[in-house]
Structure 1
Amino acid sequence: MHATENGSPQAGVAQKPSSGASTKVTVATLTMMVIGSMVGAGVFSLPRRFAQETGVLGALIAWVVAGFGMLMLAFVFQRLAKRKPALDAGVYAYAKAGFGQFVGFFSAIGYWASACVGNVTYWVLIMSTLGALWPALGEGDTWVAILLSSIGLWLFFLLIKQGVKEATAINRIVTIAKLVPIIVFVLIAIFCFHPDVFVDNLMGADYAGSLMTQVRDTMLVTVFVFMGVEGASVYSRHAQKREHVGRATVLGFLSVFAIFASVTVVSYGILPMGEIAALRQPSMAGVLEAAVGQWGTVFVSIGLIVSVLGAYLAWSLMAAEVLFVAAKDRDLPKFLAKQTGDDVPVNALLLSTLLAQVVLVITYFSEEAFDFALDLTAALSLIPYFLAAAYALKLVVTRETYLHERPRRLAADAVIAVLAVVYTLFLIYAAGLQFLLISMIFYAPATILFAITRREQHRRVFSTGELVLFAVVVIGAIVGVVGLAQGLIQL
C-alpha cells in the first residue's frame, strides 16, 4: 500500500514490482522535460496566430483563461501523481483507472497521436524557417521539404534508439539553450516598443469578430503551446521520487507561462496586428526583423531550430513512453512492450516515427500545413486531458484516497477538479466539430490495436458498453470522411 500526503493508506493502489533497471532522473531533469515539451514550435508562431484572431485585449483575456485553466490541469496532474503513484504514463493510466480499459485505450492512442502529429509541426516549421533562404522549401509543405523532414525523422529515431539516458541529457542542455533567444526577443521587443501601435491594436482589427469569438478562436493555439504540462507525469516511471512528478509539473508550467504571454503581448507594440497576421511562420522572426532589421530574423531562426529539435526529442520520448506503458499493462499489443538494453521502447518508438511520417506526407495536401498540424495536435489532446480531469473529480466524489483527509483538503481538490473539467469541456467546444470528426477518423481504425490486444489475451473484443462506444466512434469517422469528400471539412 502507498501512503497519501498525510500518511494515511491509499485505497485501491497496489505496489508495482520493478520492471527492471529503469533509468532514474532527478526533479530538475523532469522539470526540463516539462519545459522542453512546452517550449517548442508553438511559441515562435504565437504573434501571427494571435494577430489573426484578436487584439491586445482579447489576447490578455485568452491568456488569463488559458493560463488559469492549464494551471488547474497542472494541479490535477500534481495531485494525481501523489494520490496514485503506482500509475505510470499518467494521461493514459488515469483514464483507464477511472473509466475502464477501452476508454483508457482511446486516451492512450489519442494522446500518442497528438504527440506524433505535434512532432510533424516541428519539421514543417523548421523547413518554413529555412524556406526564407531556400525557396524550394516553401513554407515547409513542398516535396523537397517533406523529403528533408523525413530524413530528419529517421535520424532522430536512430539517436533516441541509443538510450533514454543519453536522450534526456541532451534534452536538458537544449532546453536551457533554447530559452535564451526567446527571452532576448522579449527584452528587445520591450526596448523597441511603440505605445501608439500597441493602443491601435488594443481592440483588434476589422476582421476580428466579437470579443468572445476572438478569445474562443485562440484557444487551440494556447492548448498547443501548453501541451507538455503533463510531461513529468508521462515520464513518471523514471522519477527518483514520485513527489518529484508533481513538483516538476507546476515548476515547468509557471516557468513558461510568463514567456508565452510576454511573446504575444509585446509583439502588438511592434507592428499593426494586420501586418503581424500576414507574416510567414515563424512570425516571431518577422516581428524582430521589423524591430531591429535582418539580423533579427537570423537570430530567431537559429533559436527556433535549436528549440524545435529539443522539443521534438522530448515529445518523441513521451509518445513512445505512452505506447510502451500501455503495452506493459496489457492494454496494447505486446510487441509494443519490447525494450532494448538501454531502456528504449524500440517498437513503440518505431510506430511513433511511422505515424509522424504518414502525417508529414498528408501535410503536402494541406492548404496551411503548419496550422493544420498544430490544430489537429491540440484537438487530439483534448479528450485525454478531459478524462484525466474527470478522474480527479471522480476520486473526490467517491473519496477514494481521501478517507482520512481533512475536509479543507477535500474541498480544495474538488474545486481544482471541477475547474479543470469545465476548462477542458470549453476547449472541446472551442475546437469545434471539425477537428473532433477528424480525430474520429483516426480513432476508428486505431481500434484494431485494441482488438489485437484482446485476442492475444483470448478475451472477447468488446463488452456491450464498449461496443456502443466503438459504434459512436465509427459513426463519427464516417461523418468525417463524408465531410472531407464533400469539402465541408478542410485540411
Structure 2
Amino acid sequence: MPLLTLSAMVVGSMVGAGVFSLPRNFGQATGGFGALIAWAIAGTGMFTLALVFQSLAVRKPDLDAGVYAYAKAGFGEYLGFISAFGYWASACVGNVSYWVLIKSTLGQVLPIFGEGNTVPAVLLSTVFIWAFHFTVLRGVQEAATINKIVTIAKIVPILVFVIVLLFYFDPGVFADNFWGGDGYTESLFSQVRATMLITVFVFLGIEGASVYSRYARSRADIGRATILGFLSVLAVFASVTMVSFGIVPREELAGMQQPSMSPVFESAVGPWGAWFISIGLIVSVLGAYLAWTLMAAEVLFVAAEDDDMPAFLARVNANRVPVVAVTFTTVLIQLVLLTTLFSDDAFTFTLKLSSALSLVPYLLAAAYALKLASTRETYDEIRPQDRNRELLIAGAATFYTAFMILVAGLEFVLLSFIIYAPGTILFILSRRERGKKLFSPVEAVLFAITVLGAIAAIIALATGLISI
C-alpha cells in the first residue's frame, strides 16, 4: 500500500459513526467553552499517541500489527494477548455501534427501526453483517481499495456540513451556548470529563497504518500516514462540533435523535439537509465498518502467527484472507448486536464500551515507547538526538491514556473484564498447543484480577448496579 492508501485507512477508520453523533453528545455534556477545552485535551493527547506510533514504526520495523506487537515486546506474552484481544473486541463492539446508528437513521423515516435497537433493526443489521463478511473474504487488497474510494465519498458530506453551516452560523446562539446556556450548573471539570470517552471513540483507528505495517510500500509511510490522517480528522471533528453550537441552542442539541448532524443541518437548510447527511452517514459508516473488520481480523491473524493465539486463527483461504479470524470477528459482532435489544441507549453503550476496551492496548503501546526511551534501547543506533523529545512525548501519551481509563469509570472497566476473562481461553489453548507454561507468577496474578473483575461485573449487572 502506498502513502495515500495507508492515509485512507487511518481516515477511514476514524471517520465513521462518531462524527455524526458529535452535536448531541457534546450538547448533552457541555457548551462551546467546554468543547474547546475537550478538543484541546483530546487533540493533544491523541497527537502524542500518533507520534508514539510514528516513532515505534521507525524504531521497531520488525514488529507488525502495531498495537498488539508493541505490548508483547514490552511487557510479555499475556499482556500482549490482552492487548490483541482487547483491541479486537473494541473493534467488534465499535462495529455494532455503526449498525445501531444506521438503523437509527432509518428509524427517522421508518419507525419500526426505532433508535437502532428494535428486533427489525437487529434482523436487517444481521443480513448486512454477513454480507460484509463474504465481501472481506474476497481479499484484503480489494477491500482496502474499496475503503479508499469510500473514504473520499464520505468526507464530502461532512465538509459540506461544515462549510454550509458557516453561512448560517449565528454568533448570538453561539454566545448563549458558550457557557452551556441559562441554568446550566455543571462544573467545567464535569462537562469536560463527560466528553472524554466520546473523543476517544471518534479517534479510534489512529493506529490504522501501524496495524497494516506489513503491507506498507515504505516503512516511513506508516508514520506519515498516521500524522496526516490524524491532523485531517481532528480539524473535521472539532469543526463539526463548534459550528453546531452556532446553529441551535445547546438544550435542543442535547435532545436530538442520533445521528444528530442530520437535524442540525435540517434546521439550517430545510428537509433536504437531513436526507443529505443521512446518505453521507450510511456511506461513511459502511466504509468504517469495512476498515474495522479488516483491522480486527488482521490482529487475530498476526497474533496466531506469532504463537499467541491458537493456530487455527492463522488459516487463510485461496485469497490469502484469514478466514477463521474474519469469522470470529463477525460472530462477536453478531453477539454484541443481540445485546442491544436489552439496552436503553444502544449507541452510547457500544460507543463507551468500545472506547474503554481500546484504552488498555493504547496504554501498553505508549508505555512501551516510554520504556524504549528510558532504557535507551535502539537509541544508540537510530537517531540518538531524538531521545529526550521522544521520552517526553511517550510520557505524555502514557499519562493521557492512563487518565482516560480513570475517566471511563468503574462501570466500563468492569464490563471490559467480562470480555477479557473468557477470552483468556484462547491464550490457554495457544500455550498448550506449544507445550509452554500457562502463566508466569505475575501473569497468574493478572489473570486472577481479570476473573475477579468479571465476576464483580456479572454481579453488578444482576443486581442492577450496572445497566446497559
Question: Same fold by TM-score, threshold 0.5 exceeded?
Answer: yes
Q: Give the match for residue 351 of structure 1.
A: 328
The verdict on how the C-alpha distance between 1:283 and 1:144 changes in structure 2, with shifts beyond 3 A counting, is same
Paired-residue identity, %? 61
> Residue 22 of structure 2 corresponds to which residue in structure 1?
46
- CA-CA distance at 1:459 after TM superposition: 1.7
Q: Does 1:162 align with 2:138?
A: yes
SS of 1:402's equivalent in the other structure is coil
CA distance in 2, matches of 1:148, 1:271: 33
In structure 1, distance between residues paired with 2:155 and 2:189: 32
- Contact 2:95-2:333 within 8 A present in 1 as well: yes
Q: Does 1:221 align with 2:198?
A: yes
Which residue number in structure 1 is paired with residue 103 of structure 2?
127
Superposition pairs for residues 221-300 of structure 1, below 5 Å? 221-300=198-277
1:269-317 deviation line (CA, Å, top 9, x unaligned)? 0000000010000000010011111111000000000000000010000
Contact 1:54–1:208, Cα closer than 8 Å, also in 2: no
- The whole-number CA distance in structure 2 between the counterparts of 1:220 and 1:71 is 16
Aligned residues: 467
Does residue 64 of structure 1 match 2:40? yes
Counterpart CA distance in 1 for 2:462 and 2:383 is 56
SS of the residue 2:169 aligns to: coil
Residue 393 of structure 2 corresponds to which residue in structure 1?
A: 416
Structure 1's 153 and 405: CA in aligned 2 closer, same or farther, altered over 3 A? closer
* From 60, 67, 77, the counterpart of 1:91: 67
Structure 2 unaligned segments of length 5 or more: list them.
none
Q: Report the CA distance between 1:126 and its aligned residue.
A: 0.4
Asked if the contact 1:444/1:470 (under 8 Å) is kept, the reply is yes
The offset of 1:408, in angstroms, is 3.8
- Distance 1:404-1:163 versus aligned 2 partners, 3 A rule: closer
CA contact (8 A) 1:118 1:377 kept: yes
Deviation at 1:407, TM superposition (A): 5.6
Deviation at 1:464, TM superposition (A): 1.5
Q: Does 1:307 align with 2:304?
A: no
Contact 1:53 1:208 survives alignment (8 Å)? no
Answering whether residue 314 of structure 2 is matched by residue 337 of structure 1, we say: yes
SS at match of 1:201: helix
> What corresponds to 1:74 in structure 2?
50
Kindly state the Cα deviation for residue 460 of structure 1 after the two structures are TM-superposed. Answer: 2.0
1:34 matched to 2:34: no
Q: 1:208 offset after TM fit, Å?
A: 5.3
Q: Quote how far apart the aligned CAs of 1:478 are.
A: 1.0
1:483 aligns with 2:460: yes
Q: Which range moved further: 375-384 or 335-344?
A: 335-344
Q: Please state whether the residue corresponding to 2:29 is helix, strand or coil.
A: coil
Q: Is the 8 A contact 2:126 2:334 kept in 1?
A: yes
| Contact kept? 1:208, 1:214, Cα under 8 Å | no
Whether contact under 8 Å (2:14, 2:205) holds in the other structure is yes
CA distance in 1, matches of 2:68, 2:185: 37
SS at structure 2 position matched to 1:218: helix
Cα separation, partners in 2 of 1:337 and 1:135, compared to 1, 3 Å: same
Q: Secondary structure at the match of 1:189?
A: helix
Provide the rounded CA distance (Å) in 1 between the counterparts of 2:231 and 2:418: 35
- TM-score (structure 2 length as normaliser): 0.99
Could you tell me how far apart the structure 1 residues matched to 2:109 and 2:360 are?
39
The answer for unaligned runs of 5 or more in structure 1 is 1-24
Post-superposition offset of 1:490: 1.4
The equivalent of 1:106 in structure 2 is: 82
2:142 corresponds to 1:173? no
Q: Conserved in 1, the CA contact under 8 Å of 2:143 and 2:290?
A: yes
Q: For 1:232 and 1:368, how far apart are their aligned partners in 2?
A: 32
Code of the residue aligned with 1:478 in structure 2: it is: I
Runs of 4+ in 1 over 6 A off after TM superposition: none
Q: Supply the AA of the counterpart residue of 1:84.
A: K
